[in-house]
Structure 1
């Protein structure tokens, strides 16, 4: 420790330095004296600093720099306890433990204090963690059975692992009211080094099933400069090395599972130790059901109200249709504001909003079709259509009558030929034999009957097809345009229910 004489000299010198660089001189401790003189020495070496001339030109400044106490009497060892002084004697913080005797093993554990934000737009999460590292340094072995808890600022005197967070976008060490660091040395040389860090870490997300998605994020720890020949990382208690997730409360997520793994990071410069913490987040869908799904479904139901309004009420039906379309468009735009504008993601919520928009737009188109049919199929057109159908029926009936008449004529002709042949057979058997081959009546009777039967069946088939075609036209024709609304009152709700069943079944179970 400093003697009384040196303490007086040190106080006098630091008072001078504090006055020159504009710092208060009251209650100067030994650590403050050391810090002030370091600042003064730094300013003296920086020729561009505004206070440099005060330390190099003024007499008081020159005396301050020339005084041997500035560089000789104020050393780290003089302000440390005797035990630490003995440990630090000959200690080189730039050399790792077991420098010539294999790699040093560093055990790690995490305590998740909070997960503040999870951003789908930036695809990252922000968490506050307590990182604890343990390793053994044989140079710090001392006698006793109690550990030494040191000020966190003394970590600058020790070797510590160069651990970093791989996917970190930005991180900082908390320093209120002091830097949140802990150093504890055990008699066997084990060092416990703890930090409180807030970090923003990248997390690749698959949003195809948003908001019914599950995301798996990681926190990866690696050594920056030491490869696996110098340092080895391990989790101190396996999966139980990470704590705090069981009591963690998140706004939109629940932590379903988490586990740890040990691997190696392969780079061009070598293989480096790597620890990975995996945790699975499941999104809570209740918020989105109340915020998006229910309003969009109600808008679809609201668009069906126009089916119960008279087609003559043009302003009312147009107002409902246009209002629901515009409201649905606004809802779709609002649902995309909190999501990344990436074309590669067709999200589940986009599919549902697209379905709802299609039904709403279809209801508007339905009224346009119904109104057009009302104007087209007027009473005169319907009367003309009735005359055409009556003429068509008469024509079909005429065809059927002609077919029947021809069929009767052919039948009578066949019966006459049969009777003539029978009479000839009775009168003379030789004549029958002579006349049979060359008789025109027999030849005509034998050749005419089959074509008449073929024509009969052909006309019958045509008549039946004509009747079927006529019935089909009548079924497809809307005799009353108001029936379109009646059909829509049934088909639209049934179709929407079926599409919802398919949608929820696919995204919840596949």
Structure 2
């Protein structure tokens, strides 16, 4: 449409596929940006001047955007004058920010991991003598979380940096592996229970005092089988299997709680920082 003042209005539908540079370091709490550029192919800004409409949001969606894995987070537009050898070109930039839907990954990855770790802690309450049952429980928990981790990773692009879900899965594996280490310590401590103890063949006689009443030293006159009583503090007698299980049943959940708070606080704050950087960076 041509107006009397020379303004030309062109209205037509365009379907394009724009590039999106993926940064999965915060996955699945990530935001992704797609960048589109509109410019003239042959004419510089002395011949064709391009600008957005003088309104607050020149680019907006007419209908709600529904995607299976993302929500539309923000749309920003700005004008850039880019120098070329043939002159200056007007470029109209559009930044579309998408926020990943987190609930699917929470139900498929995080929630089963919680349940697997909680099941591995049941072994603390089975008693130190239930070694076969505790071994089967710990190994099955470790195999389950390894299979789950591989099932999630095969659907993601291969990247050379650590993602947020990698930190979660590796830490969860570490907690279950430490449960098996605790079981190995318990098994080592109860391995000799039920076996007959060896008795000494030579009788022991109490040792006399090293100083005689007359003041003479008689320590070289002790018999060969003399046994001097020794009062040493034995740490192994204090660390019983029951006490180790009781200590582990408190420390493992407490450590996992601290890890959860650190993990979610860090990555949620990082997501907020990324969103602010994307919005502010698109206006500069």
Q: What do the CA deviations read for 1:323-367 (whole angstroms, capped 9, x no partner)?
A: 2111111211122233220113x1111111111111112212222
Q: TM-score, normalised by structure 1?
A: 0.43
Cα distance in 1 for partners of 2:185, 2:53 equals 72
Partner of residue 491 from structure 1, selected from 235, 247, 251: 251
State the match for 1:222 in structure 2.
Answer: 39
Q: Where do 1:26-175 residues align within 5 Å?
A: none
Q: What do the CA deviations read for 1:243-292 (whole angstroms, capped 9, x no partner)?
A: 21673333333333322111023445543221111233222322222121
Flag the structure with higher helix content. Answer: 1
Q: Cα 1:479–1:219, aligned 2, differ >3 Å: closer, same or farther?
A: closer
Cα distance in 2 for partners of 1:362, 1:477 equals 23
Q: What do the CA deviations read for 1:44-85 (whole angstroms, capped 9, x no partner)?
A: xxxxxxxxxxxxxxxxxxxxxxxxxxxxxxxxxxxxxxxxxx
State the match for 2:167 in structure 1.
Answer: 351
**CA contact under 8 A between 2:18 and 2:34: conserved in structure 1?**
no
Give the secondary-structure state (helix, strand or coil) at the position aligned to 1:217.
Answer: strand
Q: Cα 1:357–1:189, aligned 2, differ >3 Å: closer, same or farther?
A: same
Q: Cα 1:244–1:309, aligned 2, differ >3 Å: closer, same or farther?
A: same
Q: What do the CA deviations read for 1:122-167 (whole angstroms, capped 9, x no partner)?
A: xxxxxxxxxxxxxxxxxxxxxxxxxxxxxxxxxxxxxxxxxxxxxx
**CA contact under 8 A between 1:238 and 1:260: conserved in structure 2?**
no
Partner of residue 332 from structure 1, selected from 140, 149, 153: 149
Q: Cα 1:480–1:331, aligned 2, differ >3 Å: closer, same or farther?
A: same
Cα distance in 1 for partners of 2:92, 2:112 equals 45
Give the secondary-structure state (helix, strand or coil) at the position aligned to 1:296.
Answer: helix
Task: Give the CA deviation at 1:378.
Answer: 7.0
Task: Give the CA deviation at 1:310.
Answer: 4.0
State the match for 2:187 in structure 1.
Answer: 371
Cα RMSD of the aligned pairs, angstroms, is: 3.3
Q: TM-score, normalised by structure 2?
A: 0.74
1:293 aligns with 2:110: yes
State the match for 1:241 in structure 2.
Answer: 58
1:500 aligns with 2:260: yes
Task: Give the CA deviation at 1:486.
Answer: 2.4
Partner of residue 82 from structure 2, selected from 260, 265, 285: 265
Cα distance in 2 for partners of 1:299, 1:484 equals 22
Cα distance in 1 for partners of 2:84, 2:139 equals 59
Mark the structure with the bigger radius of gyration. Answer: 1
Which range moved further: 297-306 or 274-283? Answer: 274-283
Cα distance in 2 for partners of 1:382, 1:281 equals 72
**CA contact under 8 A between 1:239 and 1:259: conserved in structure 2?**
no
Gaps of 5+ in 1: 1-183, 385-390, 410-465
**CA contact under 8 A between 2:79 and 2:91: conserved in structure 1?**
yes
Cα distance in 1 for partners of 2:61, 2:11 equals 16
**CA contact under 8 A between 1:263 and 1:275: conserved in structure 2?**
yes
**CA contact under 8 A between 1:262 and 1:276: conserved in structure 2?**
yes
Flag the structure with higher strand content. Answer: 1
Cα distance in 2 for partners of 1:237, 1:355 equals 51
Cα distance in 2 for partners of 1:479, 1:213 equals 46
Partner of residue 67 from structure 2, selected from 233, 247, 250: 250
Q: Cα 1:187–1:498, aligned 2, differ >3 Å: closer, same or farther?
A: same
Q: Cα 1:262–1:479, aligned 2, differ >3 Å: closer, same or farther?
A: closer
Partner of residue 29 from structure 2, selected from 199, 204, 212: 212
Give the secondary-structure state (helix, strand or coil) at the position aligned to 2:244.
Answer: helix
Structure with the bigger RCO (C-alpha within 8 Å, sep 6+) is 2
Give the secondary-structure state (helix, strand or coil) at the position aligned to 2:240.
Answer: coil
Task: Give the CA deviation at 1:221.
Answer: 1.1
Partner of residue 342 from structure 1, selected from 147, 159, 171: 159
Gaps of 5+ in 2: 201-205, 216-229, 271-284
**How many residues in Structure 1 have an aligned counterpart in Structure 2?**
248
Give the secondary-structure state (helix, strand or coil) at the position aligned to 1:281.
Answer: strand
**CA contact under 8 A between 1:203 and 1:218: conserved in structure 2?**
yes
